[in-house]
Chains A and B, each alone.
Chain A
């Protein structure tokens, strides 16, 4: 599946437009995306850090695309998630990489990391489950 088609899919989802991100690379088991900082992403208005929920949402979106880039109506159906917040997400672009750890007939397990200045300095990491049926 080419990136242009995937990003056209992303642009159809109202909440994905709200997050404002673009898929930059992908293959069968991974997806990488970049999110642009927006005023409505702010959680801490004094420091202007990303809201933790926005980071988790971006990670969920990237994970869903890694699992099902060719979704027709709605993105892959999430079951649950756990997120570890490691560093504050500061004003500026945020990157996410989702790796599909296992994709079975019914359930997919996906791990996601996010970073800003370098992959080794993770902002958050998370595990997401999706229901494929």
Chain B
């Protein structure tokens, strides 16, 4: 697989920050690393995503949302010429209670891509506790090929 240029990585990071609205913006995701091997993203602790009164236990659903988002990013950087994609299905295992106020780290990659479908896997842990995974997931995505990349569409969407 070809290495991803620094310029392209910066464009991707810009696209994520340029969304301006929606869940990904609300999650305040920070791209830590992008390569052809996969992506690593940080989600800062957010009390809105907790289920308990003390706000220390994350809801499983936000971990699922995080995996779904980062799978999309992994596909976007790995597969060229995709104009849009849609999650086909998603499976998530919650490996232990997500109780911490630490940042959440998610690592995801695309392990197989075809003309129409991408297959992804990823895992989640609290920063500093990579040995204690809190969730693991797999997903498949339906890809729509086209000349207008997702990046261009986003940039235009922002400009208009």
Q: Which residues of A contact B (CB under 8 A)?
A: 12-19, 39-46, 51-54, 56-58, 60-61, 73-75, 77-85, 88
Q: Which residues of B contact A (CB under 8 A)?
A: 19-26, 47-53, 55, 57-62, 64-69, 86-94, 97, 153-154, 157
**Cβ-closest 4 pairs across A and B:** A53-B65, A57-B61, A42-B22, A15-B59
Would you call the interface of chain A mostly helix, strand, loop, or mixed? Answer: mixed
Could you list 22 examples of A-B contacts with CB < 8 Å? A13-B52, A14-B50, A19-B61, A41-B22, A43-B22, A43-B24, A45-B22, A45-B154, A52-B65, A53-B23, A53-B68, A57-B62, A60-B60, A60-B61, A60-B64, A61-B61, A73-B53, A75-B51, A82-B89, A82-B91, A83-B89, A88-B86
A48 to chain B, nearest CB (A): 8
A54 contact set on B, CB distance < 8 A? 23, 61, 65
Check B61–A15 contact: CB distance below 8 A.
yes
B60 contact set on A, CB distance < 8 A? 57, 60, 78, 81
A9 CA to B90 CA, complexed, in Å? 28
Residue of B nearest to A15 (CB): B59
A60 CA to B94 CA, complexed, in Å? 12
Check A57–B64 contact: CB distance below 8 A.
yes
Check B49–A14 contact: CB distance below 8 A.
yes
B24 contact set on A, CB distance < 8 A? 43, 51
A63 to chain B, nearest CB (A): 10
B154 contact set on A, CB distance < 8 A? 45-46
B65 contact set on A, CB distance < 8 A? 51-54, 56-57
Given contacts A15-B49, A74-B57, A78-B60, contact A42 B23 (CB under 8 A): yes
Given contacts A14-B49, A14-B51, contact A46 B157 (CB under 8 A): yes
Most-contacted residue by chain B among A45, A61, A78, A88 (CB, 10 A): A45
